[in-house]
């Protein structure tokens, strides 16, 4: 089941549509359609867990004043990817639900260009209070909080300096990077540019510059949840970066 992504005014970026309609992406992004969809992980959790259902509205409200990229939509997609990765890793149902909740909570009360240590501090303070209202065991709550801490981003070095302390943490870290696999990514990358103070993201030149920056960042990342010689996360990241670089090398945008 799916829900429409919010704030559709950010979907009108023709430069983004043009870029992502290149054949190399093989239809991964819905062409000429502003009504991108995101998975309804919210409903999956609330239908299964009354304790999560009781706090879901408060979690959503924590994103009411969010910047355009680190929004509820982003949290929903990260939560959905957390659930998928957790299932792939063989987590039990409770652990899968915990991973998804970590995704929903990890950017709560995010404030744009604020130092990310402050953003994560706000998220963790809120998450601790919310988790105390759920039926998760103390050890699972600890893992969720540590996972959220490990998403702290150092803008100066473009790195995540705090290593995850559990497999749940590695799943959240990887899920946070994999927004690029969703069909709504043209809209999301537009929002990211706006949040970074790049109003020229609607122009082909400005959007191309953003994609150069984005592909360089994602190309430098390495999956943390891939194990046993399997590379489902790294392969997805590598494929996306390869496609972007192909478009940049073969299309004369500038």
- What's the pLDDT tens digit per position in 16-47? 988 998 999 998 886 555 555 667 899 999 99
pLDDT at 11: 60
- What's the pLDDT tens digit per position in 206-252? 999 999 999 999 999 999 999 988 999 999 999 999 999 999 998 76
Minimum mean pLDDT range among 34-38, 176-180, 190-194: 34-38
pLDDT at 6: 43
Q: Which residues of 58-88 are buried (b: 16+ CB within 10 A; e: fewer)?
A: ebeebbeebbbbbbbbbbbbbbbbbbbbbee
Q: Is residue 112 scored above 60 in pLDDT?
A: yes
CA distance 29 to 180: 10
Q: Is residue 198 scored above 70 in pLDDT?
A: yes
Fold of 38-175: Hypothetical protein af1432 (1.10.3210)
8-state DSSP, 4: E
For residue 24, the SS3 value is helix
CA distance 118 to 125: 11
CA distance 144 to 153: 17
17/253: higher pLDDT: 17
Q: CB of 218 within 8 A of CB of 169?
A: no
φ/ψ of 113, rounded to 5, equals -80, 5
Minimum mean pLDDT range among 30-34, 54-58, 166-170: 30-34
Any idea where the domains of the chain sit in the sequence? Answer: 11-34+183-254, 38-175
Give 86's contacts (C-beta < 8 A, 6+ positions apart). 95, 96, 99, 100, 168, 171
CA distance 206 to 216: 16
For residue 48, name the pLDDT band (cuts at 50, 70, 90): very high
Q: Is residue 2 scored above 60 in pLDDT?
A: no
Q: What percentage of the chain carries pLDDT values higher than 70?
A: 90
- Which tokens belong to 116? 């990310």
């Amino acid at each position: 089941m799916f829900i429409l992504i919010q704030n559709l005014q950010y979907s009108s970026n023709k430069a983004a549509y043009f870029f992502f309609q290149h054949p190399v992406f093989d239809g991964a992004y819905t062409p000429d359609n502003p009504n991108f969809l995101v998975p309804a992980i919210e409903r999956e959790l609330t239908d299964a867990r009354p304790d999560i259902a009781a706090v879901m509205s408060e979690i959503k409200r924590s994103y009411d004043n969010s910047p355009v990229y680190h929004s509820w939509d982003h949290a929903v997609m990260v939560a959905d990817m957390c659930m998928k990765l957790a299932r792939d890793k063989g987590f039990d149902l409770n652990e899968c639900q915990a991973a998804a909740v970590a995704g929903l909570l990890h950017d709560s009360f995010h404030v744009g260009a604020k130092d990310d240590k402050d953003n994560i501090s706000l998220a963790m303070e809120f998450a601790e209070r919310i988790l105390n209202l759920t039926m998760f065991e103390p050890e699972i709550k600890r893992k969720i909080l540590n996972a959220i801490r490990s998403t702290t981003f150092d803008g100066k070095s473009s790195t995540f300096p705090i290593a995850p302390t559990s497999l749940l943490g590695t799943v959240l870290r990887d899920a946070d990077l994999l927004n690029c696999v969703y069909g709504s990514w043209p809209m999301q990358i537009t929002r990211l540019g706006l949040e970074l103070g790049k109003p020229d993201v609607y122009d082909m030149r400005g959007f191309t510059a953003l994609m150069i920056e984005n592909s360089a960042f994602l190309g430098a990342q390495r999956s943390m949840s891939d194990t046993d010689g399997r590379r489902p996360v790294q392969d997805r990241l590598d494929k996306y970066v390869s496609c972007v670089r192909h478009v940049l090398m073969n299309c004369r945008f500038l």
